[in-house]
Amino acid sequence: MKTYEVFLKRPGKDPFTHVGALEAPDDELALSFARDCYARRSEGEQMWVVARSELLVADSVELEMADRSHRHNDGALLRDLRKAGDSPAS
């Protein structure tokens, strides 16, 4: 038995969403089991089934550790600048 991960995409703008996993002996049956387990009520119009062993999993520590503040702008500086602009000194 192999473990597979199942992704569904509902109609419309939603992206593919991971919905769960299952065990199956081969790819063909994995698709069939996935339909039985996760899409009995047409919960998606598209389905991806991927063997867990084929997934490339990123290191979550690497995703988190860097300081990425320069890629964000929380608007704090802008707020201060605007406030300064309102003051009677200007």
Partner 1 sequence: MRSWDSMDDFEAFLDDGGLVEPGDAMPDTYREAVFRFIELHANSEYMGGLTERDWIAKAPGLANKLTALAKTQDEIGHAHLLYMVAADMGIKTRDEMTVDLLAGRTTFHNVFHYRAYTWGDQIAIAYLVDAAALASQQAVFKNCSYGPYKRILRRIIAEEGFHMRNGEELLLKMAKGTSQQHDLMQEGIDRWWWPSVQLFGPDTRPDDVLLRWHIKSERNEVLRDRFVQKMVPQLTAAGFTIPDPDLRQDPDTGRWISGKIDWDALKAAIAGRGPDSERRLRDARNAWDGAAWVRTALDEAAAVPA
List contacts with partner 1 (CB under 8 A): 1-2, 19-27, 29, 36-37, 40, 60-61
**3-class state of residue 3 by DSSP:** strand
Question: Residue 62 or residue 67: which is nearer to partner 1 going by CB?
Answer: 62
Compute the least distance from the CB of residue 54 to partner 1, in Å.
13
Compute the least distance from the CB of residue 26 to partner 1, in Å.
5
Compute the least distance from the CB of residue 59 to partner 1, in Å.
9
Count Cβ atoms below 10 Å from residue 49 Cβ, excluding itself.
20
Give the C-alpha distances (Å, rounded to integers) separating 55 from 2, 6, 42. 13, 12, 25
The first and second tokens of residue 2, run together, are 């192999």
